[in-house]
Structure 1
Amino acid sequence: MSLAEFKQAPWQNSHPCYQRSVLAIVPAPEYANSEVLLASLYRAVGFEGTSEGSVPQSGRDLDKQIQKLREKRQPPPSGAIVGVEAWNTLLHGVLESPKLPNQSAQRFLQVTPIVPSTGLFSGAARLKGNPWNAGKLIRRMICLGSKDQVAAQQLWGSLFDALSVNDKDDIFAQWLDQEMSAWNQGESAWALAPIPAEDMAMLGTSDFNMISFMPARRFTKDLNAIMQAKNSMTRRQWTSLLEAVIRLASVSHVTWLCDVHTRIWSCVKASFTGATSPANEQEARAAIFPESPQYMTYGGKALQDLKDKVSSYLSARLGVNALLWSLDQIGTPYQGDLSTSAGVAALCQHVSMHKTTLDNLGTLEIIADILDQELHALRCKKGIGSNLLEFARHVLGQRQTAVSLLRGYDQGYILKKRGSSSSSPWIVSLGPVAVLALVHCSLAGMGGPRSVHRLGQHLEAYGISVDKHDIARNDLGLQLRMLGLVLDSPDAESGMLLLPPFPTSQITQSL
């Protein structure tokens, strides 16, 4: 690979040093919703041999099998308890997940991912082609948010145990899991799939201990809290809470990575242009890892701010890769890493040492030409930028349904439409399930009620800014009161105390 080849296809020909970085956005997100995230997570943690591309076809095969048995009035497979008609009604009625407005004419199986085996035939990101693996994104978040490989594998194993159906689950979940197994005979068996060593993306110890803001680390703690609450409710209620936490954490994590990329490029570019750049690991860490960013504001429009972060990331990605290929071109390749503060500081020093040769090559002009060439992509009108925005919009936003009667199906959303028009903006506003989940996580390990300020701090850990004084008056305060999650107290900040929604909220976490 050469600089000239990179210029021809800059999104396909990333430099090996860039590709190996644990801070790279891998896998590249595309369309998904909360149920796609959970179904793909089922496949990643327990169905190792199941590919994302095989899921839609498995759904079509299962539906074809059911319709064939209905037409010929044949009995169900051995081990099944309900008849064919009842099973058809269950999949196409009771368990059916609403389709999007543009899917109303399409026929495919799409069910609520209550139990793992639903992930064998439902919940792929796309119905054709090779869908992206959203479960691997969640797995990578767990790795980045864990202090070491042992902790990551332990949390991954605990998640597998929590996602498994056992005798502590409600009777409907136990029955459904057994019935699904009878209808999915010959498919992959549910078993823990350990995190492959080559996929173990870990931050360096120094960075992990010193970074103050990192959504992936907050996510690992919240995941523990959600798993502790499992036995306090039905399986369906618990998976809804899990989805709410996953959807907020995944978008916040991807936005954080975009932010970090932009900061890395700023440092590297400074060393190339002669401006002040990090001279050591400590300075690099302070420069590339944000301390308390605000990616969204509660009650405000969200997508434009996210679009700005994505656009900056795309420019940074092109710039960093072009510079790395330029170093190869002049015969002084960078041999370090882009995964740590020390690695970024070393790259800055390396670029500064070879600044004159890079100037002679015309690196700045090359980068400017590539940015002009990819202007449409940088505006997020196509390609990676468009995919990232679609990911954020559909994961965070309340599900828009083809059937208007099902518009209240999704209650774990983070964004909702301000009005009923299709052009109405998306604003940050938590659904009741998301409120329950985040209040529980914010109080996990606490010995009792805490000020509502605690919830504000928890949201800020995911990049959502909220004024604690506004909570009593906005829709978040209304949700908290309707759900019985606050106690009005003149002695508390904002006059409101958060109440634990589940008994496990007071269990001390071992993190």
Structure 2
Amino acid sequence: MTLAKFREDPWKTSHRAYSGSPLAMAPAPEYASSEVILSSLYRVSGFPGVAESRVPQNGRDLDREIQKFRNRRRDRDGAALDPDSFHMMLHSALESPKLPNQSSKRFLQITPLVPQAAVFSGSARLAGNPWSAGTLVRRMIWLGSPSHEAAQQNWKNLFRALSVERDDDIFARFLEQEMTAWGSPATWGQEDVDELASMAPEDCVGLAYPARQFTHDLTAIIGAKGSMTRRQWTSLLESILRIGTVSHVVWLSELHGRIWSCLRQAISGVGPRTESEARSALFPKAFSYLSYGDRALPTIKDRASAFLQARLGINAVLWGLEEIGHPIASTGSAVQLLALCDAARARSSELRALDVLAIVDEVQERENRAILCRKGIGSNIMEFARHVLGQRQAASDILRGYDQGYVLRKKSSASSSPWVVALGPVAVLALVHCSLSGTSGPRSVRRLSQHLQQYGISVDHRDIPDNDLGHQLRMLGLVLDSPDAESGMLLVSPFPEASP
């Protein structure tokens, strides 16, 4: 790969220093929903031999197997339910709503209540080679943990929580056994993880970022598992997964923009010159991309567009430096960013002779539709954010209220109505529990406001008593009105007996 080849096809191959960075957006997000993320997480953590592309066919095979036994009026050996009852359970009691554009398609889509359900359902696409959303979650755990050993322990704890064990409710244990009896092609079990992406320890000191908060909250959600049914717990887990994954993707987008800004400055002879300056330039002191009650998608689109411009610029500089004999190994920390900026400054005349910045401007202009998120990677990021955060739009009116863990909802019932930031009741339960985890004594709603800020969601605690969030908190019994508390509201833990 050369700078000239990059100029011809800028999206095809990224420089190894970029693609191998822990701050690279890998895997690249595409369409997903909270249930797709959880299903993929099951497969990544306990079914490493089940490929994402194989899942739809497994579902069709299971449907055919059930139909065969229904036609022959025979029971399945080892199964408690007869074929008709099992078919009804999959296509009624456990059915997950299809999108309006999927209403005419026939495929198995069930709630990922137990691991075995993920063998047959929950891939991002029904054909081709779907992306693995669970790999993104695993990468976040490594980036959000203080060390490789801590990340491994967090991953093991998650696997145990996802497993169906003796302390799970009777329906979850029954369902896992029943699906296994109907011929699951995979066995649940954990293998060694080869995830190596992690933050530089010196960069993490005092740094708040979504992956770190997500990893902390994941521990709190795991600790609450014994306080509720399996279905209630997976709903809470999904709500944290959807907030954490999208916030992480947007945070990475902001970091890309900051790296590209530093590189442009360095080619002009300025930019960070010390490790401290590089760290300050790379990592934002405060991260915010959503404001409670406001429209959400325009700000996400701006971040995605900035990411695409930065990706083109960073790769052009890396290929340019390699062409003049100054290759860069990685770009995943403040120290490595400083080395990259020093190289760009030292070889700026040669980079200008290659017209690197002019090539970037030319490519950005040529790829304008992609940068505007109308196609390609940008369109995929927008689809990912919209479907993960947004309330599920069900094709069936009966299942319209199925999704209660959303972060975005339609402002009105009109199809053209914008998506606004408004937490669903399950998301409120999850966030209040996580915000109070590890604390002692009463906390005001300011604690919840600060917790949301860690994910880039801004809400003034003084507005909570009068807005939709305050209404949700009161309806769910999660606050006590107290004249002595800030804003007059004290948070009440939804699961006081839960322990991380």
Q: TM-score range by the shorter chain?
A: over 0.9
Which residues of 2 match residues 293-332 of structure 1 at below 5 A? 293-332=287-326
Which residue of the partner structure matches residue 85 of structure 1? 84
| 1:175 partner amino acid | F
Alignment partners' CA distance in 2, 1:33 and 1:127: 14
| 2:246 partner amino acid | V
Which residue of the partner structure matches residue 405 of structure 2? 412
Which residue of the partner structure matches residue 476 of structure 2? 483
| 1:412 partner amino acid | G
| 1:331 CA displacement | 2.4
Q: Secondary structure, in 3 states, of the residue corresponding to 1:116?
A: coil
Which residue of the partner structure matches residue 466 of structure 2? 473
Q: Secondary structure, in 3 states, of the residue corresponding to 2:158?
A: helix
Do the aligned partners of 1:157 and 1:194 also contact (CA within 8 Å) in 2?
no
| 1:2 CA displacement | 0.9
Q: Secondary structure, in 3 states, of the residue corresponding to 1:259?
A: helix
What CA RMSD, in Å, does the superposition of the two structures yield over aligned residues? 0.9
Pairing 1:222–2:217 present: yes
Alignment partners' CA distance in 1, 2:475 and 2:232: 18
| 2:227 partner amino acid | S
| 1:399 partner amino acid | R
Q: Secondary structure, in 3 states, of the residue corresponding to 1:217?
A: helix
Task: List runs of 5+ in structure 2 lacking aligned partners.
Answer: none
Alignment partners' CA distance in 1, 2:357 and 2:168: 60
Which residue of the partner structure matches residue 361 of structure 1? 354
Alignment partners' CA distance in 2, 1:431 and 1:205: 36
Deviates more, 1:336-345 or 1:111-120: 336-345
How big is each residue's C-alpha offset from its partner over 1:189-236, in whole Å with a ceiling of 9 and x where there is no partner?
A: 10013321xx3211111012242x210000110000000000000000
Which residue of the partner structure matches residue 43 of structure 1? 43
Pairing 1:164–2:159 present: no
Alignment partners' CA distance in 2, 1:469 and 1:462: 19
How big is each residue's C-alpha offset from its partner over 1:350-370, in whole Å with a ceiling of 9 and x where there is no partner?
A: 000001111111111111111
Alignment partners' CA distance in 2, 1:415 and 1:247: 11
Q: Secondary structure, in 3 states, of the residue corresponding to 2:51?
A: coil
Deviates more, 1:100-109 or 1:176-185: 176-185
Instruction: Give the counterpart of 1:193 among 187, 191, 206.
Output: 191
Which residue of the partner structure matches residue 259 of structure 2? 264
Pairing 1:99–2:98 present: yes
Do the aligned partners of 1:444 and 1:504 also contact (CA within 8 Å) in 2?
no
| 1:333 CA displacement | 2.2
How big is each residue's C-alpha offset from its partner over 1:267-304, in whole Å with a ceiling of 9 and x where there is no partner?
A: 01100123x31111111111111111211000000000
Which residues of 2 match residues 486-497 of structure 1 at below 5 A? 486-497=479-490
Do the aligned partners of 2:209 and 2:287 also contact (CA within 8 Å) in 1?
no
Do the aligned partners of 1:485 and 1:499 also contact (CA within 8 Å) in 2?
yes
Do the aligned partners of 1:330 and 1:357 also contact (CA within 8 Å) in 2?
yes
Instruction: Give the counterpart of 2:203 among 182, 185, 207.
Output: 207
Alignment partners' CA distance in 2, 1:180 and 1:208: 43
| 2:179 partner amino acid | M
Alignment partners' CA distance in 2, 1:298 and 1:283: 32
| 1:100 CA displacement | 0.3
Which residues of 2 match residues 175-186 of structure 1 at below 5 A? 175-185=174-184
Do the aligned partners of 1:45 and 1:194 also contact (CA within 8 Å) in 2?
no
Pairing 1:430–2:441 present: no
| 1:74 CA displacement | 2.2
Which residue of the partner structure matches residue 248 of structure 1? 243
Deviates more, 1:252-261 or 1:361-370: 361-370
Alignment partners' CA distance in 2, 1:373 and 1:110: 40
Alignment partners' CA distance in 1, 2:10 and 2:232: 44
Pairing 1:500–2:498 present: no
Do the aligned partners of 1:156 and 1:194 also contact (CA within 8 Å) in 2?
no
Q: TM-score, normalised by structure 2?
A: 0.99
Alignment partners' CA distance in 1, 2:61 and 2:442: 51
Instruction: Give the counterpart of 2:382 among 383, 389, 396.
Output: 389
Alignment partners' CA distance in 2, 1:49 and 1:490: 57
| 1:438 CA displacement | 0.2
| 2:12 partner amino acid | Q
| 1:374 CA displacement | 0.7
Do the aligned partners of 2:50 and 2:119 also contact (CA within 8 Å) in 1?
yes
Pairing 1:118–2:111 present: no
Pairing 1:14–2:14 present: yes
Which residue of the partner structure matches residue 375 of structure 1? 368
How big is each residue's C-alpha offset from its partner over 1:66-92, in whole Å with a ceiling of 9 and x where there is no partner?
A: 11221222222x210110000000000
| 1:425 partner amino acid | P
Alignment partners' CA distance in 2, 1:39 and 1:27: 16
Alignment partners' CA distance in 2, 1:329 and 1:458: 46
Percent same amino acid among aligned pairs? 56
Runs of 4+ in 1 over 3 A off after TM superposition: none
Which residues of 2 match residues 54-65 of structure 1 at below 5 A? 54-65=54-65
Do the aligned partners of 1:44 and 1:193 also contact (CA within 8 Å) in 2?
no
Alignment partners' CA distance in 2, 1:174 and 1:64: 24
Which residues of 2 match residues 268-279 of structure 1 at below 5 A? 268-274=263-269, 276-279=270-273
Alignment partners' CA distance in 2, 1:341 and 1:310: 22
Alignment partners' CA distance in 1, 2:424 and 2:42: 24
Alignment partners' CA distance in 2, 1:328 and 1:483: 58
Number of residue equivalences? 500
Q: Secondary structure, in 3 states, of the residue corresponding to 1:343?
A: helix
Do the aligned partners of 1:144 and 1:201 also contact (CA within 8 Å) in 2?
yes
Q: Secondary structure, in 3 states, of the residue corresponding to 1:487?
A: strand
Instruction: Give the counterpart of 1:464 among 457, 460, 475.
Output: 457
Deviates more, 1:43-52 or 1:60-69: 60-69
| 1:330 CA displacement | 2.0
How big is each residue's C-alpha offset from its partner over 1:347-399, in whole Å with a ceiling of 9 and x where there is no partner?
A: 00100000111111111111111111111100000000000000000000000
Do the aligned partners of 2:55 and 2:120 also contact (CA within 8 Å) in 1?
yes
| 1:135 CA displacement | 0.4
